[in-house]
Amino acid sequence: MYHHIFFDLDDTLFDFKKSQRFAFKALTEKIGLTDSDRLFHRFEKYNHALWKQLEQGLITKDVLLAQRFPNFFKDYTDHLPADNLDDFFRSQLAVSGDLIEGSISLLEKLKAADKKIYAASNGVYLTQMERLEKTGLLPFFDKIFISEQLGVGKPNSNFFLRCFDEIKDFDLKRAIMIGDSLTSDIQGANSVQLATCWMNPSQLIAPDNYKINYEIQQLSDLENILL
Catalytic positions: 8, 10
Which helix (H) or strand (E) segment holds residue 144: the answer is strand 143-146
Q: Are 192 and 208 spatial neighbours (Cβ–Cβ below 8 Å)? A: no
DSSP readout, 170-186? --GGGEEEEES-IIIII
Closest CA to 189 of 218, 214, 219: 214
Instruction: Work out the number of other CB atoms within 10 angstroms of the CB of residue 172.
Output: 13
